[in-house]
Amino acid sequence: MLECVSIVGLGKLGAPMAAAIASKGVRVIGVDIDENKVNAIGRAEPPVYEPGLSELLQQAKANLTATTDLQQAVLDSQATFIVVATPSRLDGHFSLDYVLDACKVIGQALREKSDWHIVVITSTVSPLSMDEQIRPFLEEVSGKRASIDFGLAYNPEFIALGTVIRDFLNPDLILIGESDPKTGDTLQAFYMRILDNIPAFARMNFVNAELTKLSINTFVTTKISFANMLARICERLPGSDVDVVTAALGKDSRIGPKYLRGAVSYGGPCFPRDNLALIALARQIGAIADVAETTDNFNRSQNAWLAEFVYQHVLPGQVVGVLGLAYKPGSDVIEESPAIYLLRYLLDKQVSVVAYDPAARANAEQLFRDRVRWAASAEACVTASEVVVIPTVWPEFKKIPTSVWIGGASKRTVIDCWRAFPELSQADGLRYVSLGQGPSRVRVPV
């Protein structure tokens, strides 16, 4: 039974993961080279933006400590989860630099440690990384053998920023690539102790687990792109509505409703790069990955499509307001966000832009500086604009009074990418454009 674990990396996943485990009564030692993050955990304050993390840290503070001393953390714990960044390389594969940096210190600690210890790679890695790089490196540094002297596992999480805590504690699946049955049994028992639900467990060797992680995310992106394809078709069919079509599709048990909502491209730090990593693997081994390549190409084309679509609704001299900059609500991440692509396009076309996001403004401001006017609120963004685009729907946007939408000297155009404001279609004094619905409601560019 694992009574104390260490977690290396107190970032977007590591910090919520540490707090969630500690809130269940397990002692957790968080480790990071960033002293600011370590000190924040020590004050029970969130080192990263994630809804619910502040409250969870208060619940967990009796069992959660943080340090920059990884070697001591390994000596004081029974398992170490490595949750560090694995940046995408130019060839699409993941860099293991930070993982191996952590493994070096962990291996040195294992050399001194007589007790059985499990090393868990939670960071996403490319297939064959565990067998060809991570395992041999740990064995070399530690002077010990995986599955005999220590346990080794690949155990990636399937979480989404903005709902990390809920997703971690209520997973559909726990994926474990294991060096030996003892390691897998220990991790499975650990999760059964801390989770709020009883998920499916899939235990296998390393390469199958590595491939499964990429395959799941690539399949989800394919599903998202299929729904977006349907949305573009519906926009050209009188009377059609993508929500009606996808709702029916989702009732088929072979398909299911999750991620089946036509709107804008997928983004964020996981889906695009996992798709590219699977493509890179296929090319490396001489296999065909046409479906993954088509999904990636189609998704990127959707960013260009949206930008051109918006631009066709802008008259000379009009100001465009962009509501929502993060790649999804509940996150401050702008990586691969359709809104960011849209901003770049409009600015290149010399269009005046005002933007608002309750969490991602600081990150977006680093990119665009004073090229964009930054609104202090969602209502201020709407008021300052003749054309408003909503690529990311935060709950607070739903609270904007209709009087704000219809206010102004000229008739405002509202482009609702997610069909989140159907009531505006009946409002006088504005032009409501909803994506994914037939020509009676939307003018489609040709």
Q: Where are the beta strands (DSSP E) in 179-315?
A: 200-204
How would you label 54-64 residue by residue, b for 16+ Cβ within 10 Å and e otherwise?
eebbeebbebb
Q: Where are the beta strands (DSSP E) in 232-332?
A: 319-323
Given a contact cutoff of 8 angstroms between Cβ atoms, the answer to whether 152 and 130 are in contact is: yes
Strands 151-154 and 173-178: antiparallel
- 314 contacts: CB under 8 Å, gap ≥ 6: 320, 346, 351, 386, 387
Alpha-carbon span 307 to 334, nearest angstrom: 16
Alpha-carbon span 2 to 78, nearest angstrom: 6
Given a contact cutoff of 8 angstroms between Cβ atoms, the answer to whether 8 and 70 are in contact is: yes
Phi-psi region of 162 (alpha: psi -120 to 50; beta: other; left: phi over 0): left
Alpha-carbon span 358 to 419, nearest angstrom: 20
Given a contact cutoff of 8 angstroms between Cβ atoms, the answer to whether 274 and 124 are in contact is: yes
**Of 353, 265, 344, which Cα lies nearest the Cα of 314?**
353
381 is catalytic: no
Alpha-carbon span 199 to 177, nearest angstrom: 16
The pair phi, psi for residue 36, each rounded to 5°, is -65, -40
Task: Please count the other Cβ atoms lying within 10 Å of the Cβ belonging to residue 416.
Answer: 24
**Active-site entry in 4, 103, 234, 270:** 270
What number of residues does the chain have?
Answer: 446
Alpha-carbon span 84 to 70, nearest angstrom: 13
**Burial level of 445, CB count in 10 A (0-12/13-18/19+)?**
exposed
Residue numbers annotated as active site = 270
